[in-house]
Structure 1
Amino acid sequence: MIYCCEEHVDLAIDTVVDEFETFPTLMKVEGNELSTTCEYCRNDAIYMVGNK
């Protein structure tokens, strides 16, 4: 799973498609994950992109 901000959501989706060759899932970050930062920058993560 990749946690990302609004700016990097396209990059995260492309990464999941390239690595897993499957359509990614996109979920909003909620609860205790709200303090998680984007894996591409230091902004707060808004989305979690995964392969399932």
Structure 2
Amino acid sequence: MNKEIFSCEEHIDMAIDDYVNFNGEAPEVLRHSGNKCKYCSNDAVYIVKQPEDFI
């Protein structure tokens, strides 16, 4: 599975659940524009992705 999921407002819970179920870790959720939602044809407003390593 891609480590990035683009999601609209309606499908953000599904995107987070899918990410956790596949990767076994909590994702980072950020505001995003410029892509379409993975689950419908609406514009994405979030990106669910692998957390950045913070030092």
State if a TM-score over 0.5 links the two structures.
yes
Q: Higher relative CO (CA 8 A, sep ≥ 6), structure 1 or 2?
A: 1
Aligned residues: percent identity?
40
SS across alignment from 1:48: strand
What runs of 5+ residues in structure 2 fail to find an aligned partner?
none
Using the size of structure 1 for normalisation, the TM-score is 0.86
Q: CA RMSD in A?
A: 0.8
Q: Give 1 or 2: higher helix fraction.
A: 1
What runs of 5+ residues in structure 1 fail to find an aligned partner?
none
Structure number with bigger Rg = 2
